[in-house]
Amino acid sequence: MRAVPLALPGLVLIEHRRFEDPRGAFFESWNERAFAAAGIAARFVQENVSVSAALVLRGLHYQIPHAQGKLVRVLAGEIFDVVVDLRRASPAFGRSLAVSLDATHAQSLWVPPGFAHGFLALAPDTRVQYKVTDFWSRESEHTLAWNDPALGIRWPIPEGGAPLLSDKDREGALLAQAETFP
Chain centroid to CA 69: 9
For the chain, give the number of residues. 182
**16: annotated active-site residue:** no
Rounded Cα–Cα distance for residues 108 and 135 (Å): 20
Q: Which residue out of 61, 66, 117, 142 is catalytically annotated?
A: 61
Nearest to 158 by CA among 80, 95, 87: 80
Q: Which residue out of 16, 62, 117, 130 is catalytically annotated?
A: 130
Rounded Cα–Cα distance for residues 109 and 129 (Å): 11
**62: annotated active-site residue:** no
Amino acid at 112: P
Rounded Cα–Cα distance for residues 123 and 63 (Å): 27
Residues paired with residue 12 on neighbouring β-strands, in sequence order:
5, 110
Rounded Cα–Cα distance for residues 170 and 156 (Å): 17
Residues with catalytic roles: 61, 130
